[in-house]
Chains A and B, each alone.
Chain A
Amino acid sequence: MKVRVHVSLKPGVLDPQGRAIHHSLEGLGFSGVNDVRAGRLFELDVADSTSDEALDDMCRKLLANMVIENYRIEKVAA
């Protein structure tokens, strides 16, 4: 089973990298970009029997830092 885990900074947590990317987009002449937040994408290939609970646990224990980040699990159709 293919699973994508999207990890993003919680709202309100300062994102210096997103800000720099935003600035760079403006420097390239793109207008109308209101905000940029940088995140992370993990692509996991796991056994079909892997439970939702186990996936959740992987996110909480390692893939995301729950102090500053949120995560979203997306199962990808084969």
Chain B
Amino acid sequence: MAFRSAVITFPGSNCDRDMADALGKISGTPALRVWHGDHDLPEGLDFIALPGGFSYGDYLRCGAIASRSPVMQAVIAAAEKGVPVLGVCNGFQVLTESGLLPGALLRNSGIRFVCRDVTLKVENAQSLFTSGYEAGQEISIPVAHHDGNYYADAETLDRLEGEGRVAFRYVGDVNGSARQIAGVLNAAGNVLGMMPHPERAIEATHGGTDGRALFESAIKGLVGA
């Protein structure tokens, strides 16, 4: 069965091609490309990806304007029906701004833009997106962001941890994130937001392939393989 995925492009997205490339190469079916001004999503999607970049120039707050765009209303409706949604970097910021994920992403505590490979610990290896990893496994994935400092109040953080919704944690401090959280799931487990870029670690020429298992997990979980 073909894997029907879509990558949403906002003005200022700059990792949309990388994301479409990763989804296409790993699933064998080219990802559909959707423009932010579209009110509807293609029918029958198996997977929606919100890519990295600087949507709307990060005006107001990172991801704030994109999260109010017409297509996001369709993405929110699809997510609520259970369609898997992956938001990476700016896509994660869009997910928190839209309310699909709790918390917010603040300016990095060290003020500087951070662009390097980081080590992540897989905290939950049972989700749709992470079943290809082992719990506790350490993987290397690149980050490139200025506003990746995850914030939520203590009660929300406790709830996320208690419900196994922390998907990935940084090994060591990268950006000041609360409890070193790098990626979180929604309550239903079909929405994942993460600052690191798995789509930039899918083939040897990228310098690492640790991001591959994330896409493989999702594709296998959705269409079998």
Contacts and interface: CB of A to CB of B under 8 A. Distances in A.
B61 A65 contact: yes
A46 interface: no
Nearest to A12: B153
Interface string B139-172: 0000000000101100000000000000000000
B76 interface: no
A16 interface: yes
A14 B110 CA distance: 11
B200 to A, nearest CB: 25
Given A62-B60, A62-B64, A62-B68, A68 B107 contact: no
Main secondary structure of the interface of B (DSSP, over half): loop
Interface residues of B, number: 19
Interface residues of A, number: 11
A28 interface: no
Contacts of B102: 67
Contacts of A65: 61, 64, 97, 104
B109 to A, nearest CB: 5
A38 to B, nearest CB: 10
B112 to A, nearest CB: 10
Interface string A51-69: 0000000000111010110
Interface string B100-117: 001110111111000000
Contacts of A61: 68
Interface string B55-70: 0000011001000100
Contacts of A14: 106, 109, 149, 151, 176
15 contacts: A13-B106, A14-B109, A14-B149, A14-B151, A16-B106, A16-B109, A62-B68, A65-B61, A65-B64, A67-B96, A67-B102, A67-B151, A68-B104, A68-B106, A68-B151
Interface of B: 60-61, 64, 68, 96-97, 102-104, 106-111, 149, 151-152, 176
